[in-house]
């Protein structure tokens, strides 16, 4: 067996690049190629048109281990505390990093900065990144898995990671089903600006439409602070909200969010996302492993999709290191079984907690309002309970991986 083993990664989104870096860092002998269908973007979008992701502390630990965090940190905003409230009700709570003796509860990074840092690091650690190259077919029934590109090239590898997001045709081709759980809600996502310097406070606010997650973005000036907003609204209300002109939209947002940050200055482009949870019913087939959104697409209520993928990238890199050391083929189920067990266990934990949040926060009515208010009030009174909630968000639930 001791030939160099090859990994082919299809998809250069945030997950594909993260898996490539994790694998290359932990396994310098692997020959890793990543194919991305679109050219990688350069340039910086308008500050109010960016998209942000909240990274938990476990993700920060992983990115540090992969040699990325020092370059990325200047482009991130630390979350010093999270204010949780319910519009028109008495309960509210504040979770602080200080209480947990942590430097921050998490960090918010803009996706274009994260993508740029991941791409640079992937190239530094020796991943052969090819873009734009689109894969058009997969072949699972040969000795080794292979893929065909749109320019007619056929590439084989010992292990192929499918990191191409939700790609129904490929799932069909491999005979893999998808479990789909719609929530009846969409997320309207946009950035908003407020006056004053960024204090690093995130807000989770429950409104009659649905929950509003307001995340602090890294500061550009002292006179204006930017926030990334994920506003969950019922499907039947999304069109009406999305089609409001800017002035009316700002007014609806201000009314839902309140005045804790003062008057809304401006909002950027709005995008809409169906809040559907998709999990591939099988995540391995004959040398192909589904990772990232291809394996699981979570609703963004709890901001856990990418954090989960980073955790899985760490787990896979560690399992492949054992297989390489023992001179075993990395694409066979015997080398991937333990990874799959751990990954599916992690997915169940995260999906159960995000489903619970989505259910709790998307329902209306007095029966659900009462416990929700009560739990917010209790969280404020019981530091231990508050710490558990914050730790779940910071990814400190267990240290494995
Ligand atoms: C509104 C919103 C907010 C979110 N906030 C958070 C958050 O705060 N924290 C968090 O952890 N997660 C968050 N997430 C989840 C996170 O954004 C995703 O988990 C992450 O971006 C997944 O990326 P991916 O690389 O798996 O998939 P994708 O981003 O879909 O990337 C797939 C890539 O594959 C390429 N591709 C597709 N087909 C082919 C082909 N045939 N050949 C070659 N390449 C191909 C595509 O061009 C694309 O670049 C959020 C998600 C949403 C929608």
Identify the structural domains of the chain with CATH numbers, from first to last. Answer: 6-41+48-180+276-394 (3.50.50.60)
Spatial separation of the C-alpha atoms in residues 372 and 386, rounded to whole Å:
14
Distance 55 CA to ligand 1 centre (A): 14
- Model's pTM, two decimal places? 0.90
CA 68 to chain centre: 17
Query: Which ligand 1 atom sits nearest the alpha carbon of residue 298?
Result: 15
Spatial separation of the C-alpha atoms in residues 263 and 257, rounded to whole Å:
10
Pocket lining for ligand 1, CB < 6 angstroms? 10-16, 35-38, 53-54, 134-135, 163-165, 167, 187, 189, 230, 273, 292-293, 300, 303-307, 309
Say what the pLDDT of residue 377 is. Answer: 46
Query: Which ligand 1 atom sits nearest the alpha carbon of residue 167?
Result: 38
- Token pair of 54, please? 């909240």
In 3D space, the residue among 289, 14, 310 whose CA is nearest the CA of residue 158 turns out to be 289
Nearest protein CA to atom 41 of ligand 1, as residue: 135
Which residues in the chain land under pLDDT 70?
1-2, 87-91, 301-302, 354-401
Say what the pLDDT of residue 23 is. Answer: 98
Sign of CA dihedral 239, 240, 242, 245: positive
Say what the pLDDT of residue 158 is. Answer: 97
Say what the pLDDT of residue 357 is. Answer: 61
Question: Which residue(s) pair with 214 in the sheet?
Answer: 203, 229
Sign of CA dihedral 253, 254, 258, 262: positive
Contact status, residue 184 vs residue 30, Cβ threshold 8 Å: no
Distance 60 CA to ligand 1 centre (A): 18
Query: Which ligand 1 atom sits nearest the alpha carbon of residue 293?
Result: 26
Say what the pLDDT of residue 338 is. Answer: 96
Say what the pLDDT of residue 395 is. Answer: 56
Say what the pLDDT of residue 166 is. Answer: 84
What is the H or E stretch that residue 128 is in? strand 128-130
243 CB-near residues (< 8 Å, 6+ apart)? none
Residues constituting the chain? 401
Question: Which residue(s) pair with 228 in the sheet?
Answer: 191, 215
In 3D space, the residue among 74, 309, 244, 374 whose CA is nearest the CA of residue 317 turns out to be 309
Distance 148 CA to ligand 1 centre (A): 22
Say what the pLDDT of residue 1 is. Answer: 61
Say what the pLDDT of residue 143 is. Answer: 84
Please write the tens of the pLDDT for every residue from 69-103: 999 999 898 999 888 877 666 667 788 888 878 88
């Amino acid at each position: 067996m001791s030939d160099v083993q090859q990994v082919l990664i299809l998809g250069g989104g945030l997950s594909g690049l993260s898996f490539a870096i994790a694998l290359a860092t932990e396994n310098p002998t692997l020959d890793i190629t990543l194919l991305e269908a679109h050219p990688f973007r350069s340039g910086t979008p308008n500050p109010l048109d960016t998209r942000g992701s909240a990274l938990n502390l476990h993700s920060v630990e992983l990115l540090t281990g992969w040699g990325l965090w020092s370059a990325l940190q200047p482009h991130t905003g630390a979350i010093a505390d999270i204010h949780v409230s319910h519009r028109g009700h008495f309960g509210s709570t504040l979770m602080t990093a200080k209480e947990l003796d942590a430097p921050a509860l998490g960090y918010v990074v803009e996706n274009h900065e994260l993508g740029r840092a991941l791409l640079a690091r992937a190239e530094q650690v020796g991943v052969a990144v090819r873009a734009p190259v689109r894969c058009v077919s997969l072949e699972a029934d040969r000795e080794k898995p292979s893929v065909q590109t749109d320019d007619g090239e056929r590439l084989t590898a010992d292990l192929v990671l499918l990191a191409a997001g939700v790609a129904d045709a490929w799932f069909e081709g491999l005979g893999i089903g998808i479990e789909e759980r719609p929530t009846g809600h969409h997320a309207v996502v946009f950035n908003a600006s407020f006056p004053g310097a960024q204090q690093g406070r995130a807000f989770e606010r429950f409104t009659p439409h649905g929950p509003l997650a307001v995340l602090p973005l890294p500061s550009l000036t002292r006179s204006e602070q930017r926030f990334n907003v994920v506003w969950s609204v019922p499907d039947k209300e999304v069109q009406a909200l999305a089609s409001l002109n800017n002035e009316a939209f700002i007014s609806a947002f201000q009314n839902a969010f309140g005045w804790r940050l003062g008057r809304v200055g401006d909002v950027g482009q709005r995008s809409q996302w169906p809040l559907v949870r998709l999990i591939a019913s099988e995540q391995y087939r004959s040398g192909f492993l589904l990772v990232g959104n291809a394996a699981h697409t979570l609703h963004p209520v709890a901001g856990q999709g990418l954090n989960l993928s980073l955790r899985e990238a760490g787990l896979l890199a560690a399992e492949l290191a054992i297989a390489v050391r023992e001179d075993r083929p990395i694409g066979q189920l015997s080398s991937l079984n333990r990874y799959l067990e751990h990954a599916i266990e992690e997915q169940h934990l995260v999906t159960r907690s995000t489903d619970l949040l989505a259910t709790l926060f998307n329902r209306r009515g007095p029966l659900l309002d009462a416990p929700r208010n009560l739990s917010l009030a209790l969280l404020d009174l019981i530091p231990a309970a508050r710490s558990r909630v914050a730790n779940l968000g910071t990814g400190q639930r267990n240290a494995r991986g």
